[in-house]
Chains A and B, each alone.
Chain A
Amino acid sequence: MGNLAAVILAALTLLTAACAPTAAPAARYHAALDHRLAGQGDAYYREMLTLAAADPEGRAGRRARTVLQGHLWLGDLALLNAVTDAARPAVAANVGDGAGAGGATPHRPEAQATLAAWARAQKAFRRAHGRYCRTFVECGVAPPARAHYFYFLSDTEVAGGSDSQTTVELEGQIRELLRRRRIHPCVGTKAYYAVAAGTDATATALDVWAVDPHGPPRPLTPAP
């Protein structure tokens, strides 16, 4: 009797193993979202790619495909925005507007882009770890190799400025400006305040930008 039960049990085990369904596509899609929430970007994309390949004509597979494709119209708008930003200095130079007059400067896109990347990295880091990262290394974000701006995450965590001919002197000027205007870059558990500062195209004035969790990078007014 005991042998019969064991045989039945073994048969049932084999049957259920053979018949066990693979995870439903929708469940796999949700699992991918789990990975995303947990900050596991590689697992998120791996799951989405697998789903898009395994179930290309199902609802979950089709949604995975559109997720992987990104946005069409908004992506185009972002590209247009980038092109416009890139073309603006040339336009300003040709029409005699902007540089040196407090308007757009050629280097500003660098400060905006770097601070925006920093903000995105902070958001992802907080999702994964419940706090904001405190150093460039921890965040995995670094300024461009030949940065025109200095980037302050705190008084001690500073990077960039490698393109300046008078790096030390310029950093001193920036620190003095920040001190005079009572601007204190910092990273806390629930907030951060990062600053980018550098010279505009004519090197006659300091251009200062800041970013925090509540909005895009924004310029701070010139020093009085």
Chain B
Amino acid sequence: MFGIRRWSGPVRWVSASLLCGALSTTALAAEAQLPWELAAAGGSDSLQGMLAVADLRQLDQQMRHLALRLRGLPAGAALLSPPAPKGTGPAASPAVADADGEGLRALLELAAPGGGAVPAAALLVAGPRGLDARLALQVQPGFLARCAEAPAAAYQVSRRVPAAGQAAPTGAVPLRLATRDGSAAYVGLLFGDRTLVLAGEEALLPNSLDHRPQGLPSARLEAELAGSQSALWLRGDKVWQRACAALGDGSLRAGLAQMEGLALAMRSSADGSILLRLLAEAPWMTALGQALAPHPSAADSLLPAVPAATFGYASCQSNELLRRLGKAYLAAVQRPWQLPQVRTYGEVLDHATGRLGALHFAAPGDWAVALQLDSPQAARQALTLAQELAAAALPRLLGGAVVEREAPACVGPQGPVLHLRPAQAVDGPQLVALHDTLWLAADRGRLCQLAAQAKPWAPAMPAPKDGVLRLMTPLLRDTLTADSLLSGYAVLRGDGAWLDQVQWLAAGLLAPPAAAAPAPGAGTQSWQRAMPQLLDVLAALYLQTYDLAWSVGLRDDLMEVTWATSQL
């Protein structure tokens, strides 16, 4: 179906959807709503986790397209097609493989005829035998009538008589779903002609659907996850703590065990961008936020000054902890460097309330670093003190280094430039105060470009849309402009050849010792066969990915890690 000349199509699709099932060919619901009310099918005590999907039909379409497109890639076909038994001819054809999800699609058509959305949830429930799973679907009214009128469906749906000694919950219709070939059978309950709950056996079905468990997930998490297309939520409870016990007695285990809730959410957009968010609720986050006072997370006020030519950027919100570390470092080097007025340097650090950022550009060795202070006066004072610091320390650190105070025309009245020359007549990094920010650039050309577009920015101003944000898709732009403690952006580098190194590293780590190595020509493990194809697919994905943005935010007892990528 797909030849070499169709490579760009499959690659585009794979790259847009491999990670999380995002698919540019599928129309996206503008206001996706996760069906948290289906948590009622889990029970307040036993519910341990939930995978909520705003539209299971859309997810199924995405997965089908993913499988078809992957089979269009040589590596993907080899990865997905099951090996044919010896002497039975070729492996399963795409047409055969495409029939895999026929039963699910028939069920979805019964749940919502005409291609309507089917909100669904897979519920992880603690039972007497450990963890069990249930599937809950929101169906459109008339489900039973449609089942009776759909003789060609892959599933045969019939009313079920409850087992001896058990009665169906009030208002629920017991059902039995079985494939027509008898290969699989499920029991279910239809509540109010609206909610269908399926399980492997009757004992796993809920007794009622009257009340949604309060706080599962918390209202805070639910509000944070609004707009996601799917989300996996895990409850910080006994089961979670038992799982953490396997980590030993370290502080990591203690921190994870206190987690009240954990969620991984996904959202995609029609332009091929994917947004992943990991949210964690834990009481100790509040203490961490207090240590990072006064602003653990804030909008990146350095962004308007980041040029469009930036290929990589990372920034950190300045906070009390960083300032203390800076002062402690200066105190430690004061004696060996014979620095004067260390107390004054500490006072300058008190004004560093903005962002600390690092940028790199397209050309090798082209970089810049920025420290944002609370006022232009503080920035100029910092430049003066930096000159003293450099004059005292640089010659000791680099023999022959020279610090010169220059006034290039491109900077104009914005102040002098400190030229940190590693030796006489050798150009080096240059430091300047532009408005409220101290910039250190690799060379004069970069410094002049930064000075040309430097402009003051205040939090009340609208979010910037030019500069480095100009070429970003909305999901990445939102990631970078959201309140954050740390944030970053990069145009991906290279062609993914490093995946070869990963493959070799993994093969070296997982291979048996040389003494036990199989003879040449002997059989190989399945992972050894699959790894090259998987990595080829990942290389295709990497080549199609244009950029990525990430951020780490802290709000009260909630930590959020966001990761977004976009494709070409």
> Which A positions have Cβ atoms within 8 angstroms of B?
26-27, 29-31, 33-34, 36-38, 57-60, 62-63, 65-67, 69-72, 74-75, 78, 120, 123, 182-186, 191, 193, 210, 212-216, 218-221
Contacts and interface: CB of A to CB of B under 8 A. Distances in A.
B507 interface: yes
Contacts of A78: 501
Interface residues of B, number: 44
Contacts of A221: 514-515
B4 interface: yes
Nearest to B362: A65
A67 B568 CA distance: 13
B501 A74 contact: yes
Q: Which 6 pairs across A and B sit closest by C-beta, in order of nearness?
A: A30-B8, A215-B507, A216-B504, A71-B494, A193-B520, A66-B493
A158 to B, nearest CB: 16
A70 B493 contact: yes
A34 B520 contact: no
Contact of A27 (B4, B8, B471): B8
A27 B9 CA distance: 10
B25 to A, nearest CB: 16
A220 B12 CA distance: 42
B399 interface: no
B139 interface: no
Contacts of B331: none
6 contacts: A26-B568, A37-B7, A38-B4, A66-B311, A66-B494, A69-B362
A214 B532 contact: yes
A63 B492 contact: yes
Given A216-B507, A218-B511, 14 more contacts: A34-B8, A59-B546, A62-B311, A62-B362, A63-B546, A66-B311, A72-B364, A183-B519, A186-B520, A213-B532, A214-B507, A215-B508, A215-B511, A219-B514
Contacts of A182: 519
Nearest to B566: A59
A69 B546 contact: no
Contacts of A60: 568
B493 A30 contact: no
A193 B493 contact: no
A31 B4 CA distance: 11
A111 B519 CA distance: 20
B492 A66 contact: yes
A144 B309 CA distance: 42
B568 A63 contact: yes
B511 A30 contact: no
Nearest to B6: A34
B7 A63 contact: no
B568 A29 contact: yes
B272 to A, nearest CB: 10
Nearest to B528: A214
Given A27-B8, A213-B532, A214-B531, A59 B521 contact: no
Contacts of A65: 362
A219 B471 CA distance: 48
B554 interface: no
B383 interface: no
Interface of B: 4-5, 7-8, 11-12, 308-309, 311, 362, 364, 471, 491-495, 497-498, 500-501, 503-505, 507-508, 511, 514-515, 517, 519-521, 524, 528-529, 531-532, 540, 543-544, 546-547, 568
A181 B57 CA distance: 58
B7 A215 contact: no
A123 B568 CA distance: 26
A37 B362 contact: no
Contact of A63 (B8, B491, B511, B540): B491
A206 to B, nearest CB: 14
A90 to B, nearest CB: 24
A218 B514 contact: yes
B4 A186 contact: no
B87 to A, nearest CB: 17
Given A26-B568, A214-B532, A218-B511, A67 B471 contact: no
A210 B515 CA distance: 13
A72 B490 CA distance: 12
Given A30-B12, A33-B11, A60-B568, A67 B543 contact: yes
A97 B68 CA distance: 55
Given A63-B492, A66-B311, A214 B524 contact: yes
A74 B11 contact: no
A59 B520 contact: no
A210 B508 CA distance: 13
B493 A184 contact: no
A66 B515 CA distance: 42
Nearest to B515: A221
A59 B568 contact: yes
A60 B8 CA distance: 14
Contacts of A123: 500
Contacts of A31: 8
A218 B516 CA distance: 13
Contacts of B529: 214
B24 to A, nearest CB: 12
Given A30-B8, A34-B4, A60-B568, A70 B507 contact: no
Contacts of A58: 471
B362 A185 contact: no
A60 B12 CA distance: 13
Contacts of B498: 71, 74
Nearest to A73: B493
Given A33-B7, A62-B311, A220-B514, A70 B494 contact: yes
A27 B511 CA distance: 41
A121 to B, nearest CB: 13
A34 B532 contact: no
Given A69-B364, A186-B520, A33 B497 contact: no
Nearest to B494: A71
Nearest to A71: B494
A185 B311 contact: no
A59 B470 CA distance: 10
B491 A62 contact: yes
A160 B568 CA distance: 45
Contacts of A72: 364, 493
A37 B74 CA distance: 10
Contact of B5 (A34, A215, A216): A34
Contacts of A71: 493-494, 497-498
A191 B491 CA distance: 36
A134 B246 CA distance: 50
Contacts of A29: 568
Contact of B494 (A34, A74, A213, A219): A74
A55 B292 CA distance: 43
Given A66-B311, A220-B514, A33 B521 contact: no
